[in-house]
């Protein structure tokens, strides 16, 4: 499976465990993989749960800022907008411009 320990990394992005996310990225887990059960990315989930430090790390390591959830069509931007998270929106704006 191209996702490796993807489910564990997804959970870490939701719970705010930056060190565990770093570990999984270092060991080669695909940060843009969408498992058929969840159809979302760690980046989207980090914004959904307000874990900006994880989002910053994922973006610096190549997370796809334009990825869409398979079920809902949500993106990192739509989630940050829905949550009215100004810090997340500023961060995303930097990556959406490039």
Q: What is the CATH number of the domain that holds 13?
A: 1.25.40.20
Based on the structure, what is the number of domains in the chain?
1
State the residue range of the domain holding 62: 6-97
pTM of this prediction exceeds 0.85 = yes
Residue 36 lies in a domain: yes
Structure tokens at 45: 């989930």
CB 42 within 8 A of CB 55: no
The pLDDT of residue 1 is: 38
Which own/partner contact pairs does 24-31 have at CB distance under 8 Å and 24+ positions apart?
A: 25/57, 25/58, 25/61, 28/4, 29/3, 29/4, 29/5, 30/2, 30/3, 30/4, 30/6, 31/58, 31/61, 31/62, 31/63
CB 27 within 8 A of CB 4: yes
Domain assignment present for 21: yes
- Structure confidence at residue 35 (pLDDT): 81
At which residue do the structure tokens 């990825």 appear?
67
Q: Which two tokens stand for residue 21?
A: 């996310």
pLDDT tens for the chain, 98 residues: list them. Answer: 345 688 999 999 999 999 999 999 999 999 999 888 889 999 999 999 999 999 999 999 999 999 999 999 999 999 999 999 999 999 999 999 86
Whether 1 maps to a domain, the answer reads no
Q: In this structure, what token pair is assigned to residue 19?
A: 């060190």
pLDDT in tens, 36-51: 888 999 999 999 999 9
């Amino acid at each position: 499976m191209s996702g490796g320990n993807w489910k564990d990394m997804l959970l870490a992005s939701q719970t705010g465990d930056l060190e565990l996310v770093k570990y999984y990225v270092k060991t080669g887990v695909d940060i843009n993989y969408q498992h058929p059960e969840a159809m979302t990315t760690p980046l989207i989930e980090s914004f959904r749960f307000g874990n900006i430090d994880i989002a910053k790390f994922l973006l610096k390591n190549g997370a796809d800022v334009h990825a869409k959830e398979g079920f809902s069509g949500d993106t990192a931007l739509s989630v940050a907008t829905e949550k009215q998270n100004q810090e997340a929106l500023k961060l995303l704006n930097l990556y959406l411009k490039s």
